[in-house]
Amino acid sequence: FKAGINTATYMYMIDYAAEHGFEYVLFDEGWSGRNDLLTLNPNVDMPSLCRHAGEKGVGVCLWSNWVTMDRQLEEALDLMASWGVKGVKVDFMERNDVEMVRFYERVAKAAAQRKMLVNFHSSYPADGLHARYPNVMTREGVVGLEYNKWSERATPKHQLIIPYLRQWASGMDFTPGSMVNTQKKFFRIRHDDPMSQGTRCHHMAMYVVYESPLQMLSDSPSKYDASPQWLPFLQEVPAVWDDTIPLWGTIGENIAVARRSGDRYFVGAMSSGDAEDAVIELNFLPEGDWEMKIWEDGVNAWKNAVDYRFSTRQVKAGDKVSVRFAPAGGYVAIIERKS
C-alpha cells in the first residue's frame, strides 16, 4: 500500500501494535479537517479503523490543535467516544495564562467523563493537574525528537539537561524511539526520514531515564523490524514503575537511573560529551542470582552511531559493571532473576 494518512496505513499500524503488544496507536494531524474535528479526511475511514482496533485490542488516540478542540470540545469528544476512541493528544497551546490553564482543566474533565486519556503537547511543564485528573497521562513542554525535522536543538547536551530540569512532576513526553542515529558532526536536518543526535543506545536508554506513563515509539515500524534485538526491549520496557533508584549523574553531562517493575530491574544511562568510562554499582539488587541483558555502544559508535553490542552476564547484589560510553553514548539493561 502507499504509506500516508490513509486507511491502509492506519490498518497496518493497528495490526503492528496488536502483533507486538503495544497498547495504543496515535492518529496524528490529518485524520480530520484542518480546523474541524467533525469533518473526516475522506482517505481515513475512522469508524472502520476504530472497529478494527477494538477487535484487535488496540486503543486509538487522536490528535487535535487546541483552538479546534476548544471550539468543538463536547461535540468532538462525543463523536470520538461513539467510535470507541481511547484518548486525545491536544497541541500548540504554547501559553500558560489563566484562560489556557482553564482550558487544560476543561479538556481533562471532559475527557475523564468519557473515560479518555489526555496527552498535552506544546504545553507548559507539569503542574500537578495529573493529581486531580489521573487520565492526564503525560505532556510535552520540552524540545523533543520531532524538532529534528527542522532544527538542531535536540542535542545530546539538551537530552542530558531535561531529566534534571523538566521531570519534577508528572510525565515528560519526549517522543523517543529514533532508529536513525548519528553523531553530531554528521547530523543533517531533513523532514522526511529524520535523524537524531546520539548513539542508538543513547536513545534507547531514554525509555528508562525519561519517565512518561504514555510512552511513544516515534519511528517507522520497518525501522524496528530491521533491528530485531531492539524490538524485544521496546516490547518489555514498562511505561510505569514501582520504584526509582537514581545512581549518579551531572546535569548536562551524564545520568544513570535504575527502575523496578515487579521483580525486574531496568538500568538506563546516557552521556552527552566525549567518550568516557563509568561504573554502575548493583547495590539496589536483592540477594540472589540475576541475569543481566545489556545493550551498549559498539566499538564503532563514535563514527557510526547505530553500532551497538548486545550481551548477557550473570550478576549479584553489589557487583560493579563497567560502562564505556561512545561520544553522546548510552547504555541500557534488563536484570531478571536467574531461573
Which residues are catalytic, by number?
Answer: 91, 146
Name residue 334's beta-bridge partners.
266, 293
CA torsion 27-33-38-39 (nearest 10°) is: -110
Using CA atoms of 326, 225, 153, 331 in order, give the dihedral in degrees to the nearest 10: -30
Neighbours of 240 (CB within 10 A): 13
Residues 6+ apart with CB under 8 A from 124: 93, 95, 96, 141
Strand partners for 293: 312, 334
Residues 6+ apart with CB under 8 A from 241: 211, 259, 260, 261
- Under a CB-based contact definition with an 8 Å cutoff, are residues 308 and 297 in contact? yes
Distance separating alpha carbons of residues 4 and 11, to the nearest angstrom = 11
**Sequence-ordered list of residues with C-beta below 8 angstroms from that of 37, at least 6 positions apart, any chain:** 64, 68, 69, 72, 75, 76, 79
SS3 42: coil
CA distance 266 to 280: 12
Phi first, then psi, for residue 312 (nearest 5°) are -130, 155
8 Å CB contact between 105 and 77: no
Is 173 within 8 Å of 214 (Cβ atoms)? yes
Where residue 253 falls (left for φ over 0; alpha for ψ -120 to 50; beta otherwise) is alpha
Contact between 258 and 285 under an 8 Å Cβ cutoff? The reply is no
Q: Which has the closest alpha carbon to 240: 283, 203, 202, 207?
A: 207
